[in-house]
Amino acid sequence: MRDSFSIDASSNKVAVGTNSVKAAIHQFGGTIKHPGGTRYVLIDGLAKFVANSLVGPVSGVTKAHPIPMPARPMLGDSDADRKEILDVLERHYRKGWAG
């Protein structure tokens, strides 16, 4: 997903974002409604998910179930993030953006 980020900058603004459909669930968290149907085999008592293309017997198939996804923000907007952005801008300004 990291490669999906884009930057749009002009003389008075910068916008950073992504068009990845997975970005919102990572940024804000939520519940994924898994439809089920994932095949698995049991190895030493542990489930190992297998590809649908696997030929041969499987131990079972998952049922529909919710998957809670905690927020893992990628786009920062905390006070620390704002301070870091301002520090970077100030350094660049002092190096020659001033004129």
**Distance from C-alpha of 74 to C-alpha of 25, rounded to nearest angstrom:** 11
| Same-domain check for residues 44 and 62 | yes
Residue 91 reports pLDDT greater than 90: no
By DSSP bridging, strand 30-34 and strand 65-69 are antiparallel
| Same-domain check for residues 35 and 64 | yes
Convert the pLDDT of each residue in 44-70 to its tens digit: 999 999 998 888 889 999 999 999 999
Residue 71 reports pLDDT greater than 80: yes
| Same-domain check for residues 14 and 44 | no
Average pLDDT, the chain: 88
Domain hosting residue 89, numbered range: 1-29+71-99
pTM: 0.60
The total number of structural domains in the chain stands at: 2
Please identify which residue in the block is written with the tokens 């649908």: 52
Per-residue pLDDT, averaged over 28-56, amounts to 93
Determine the length of the chain: 99
What pLDDT does 14 receive? 80
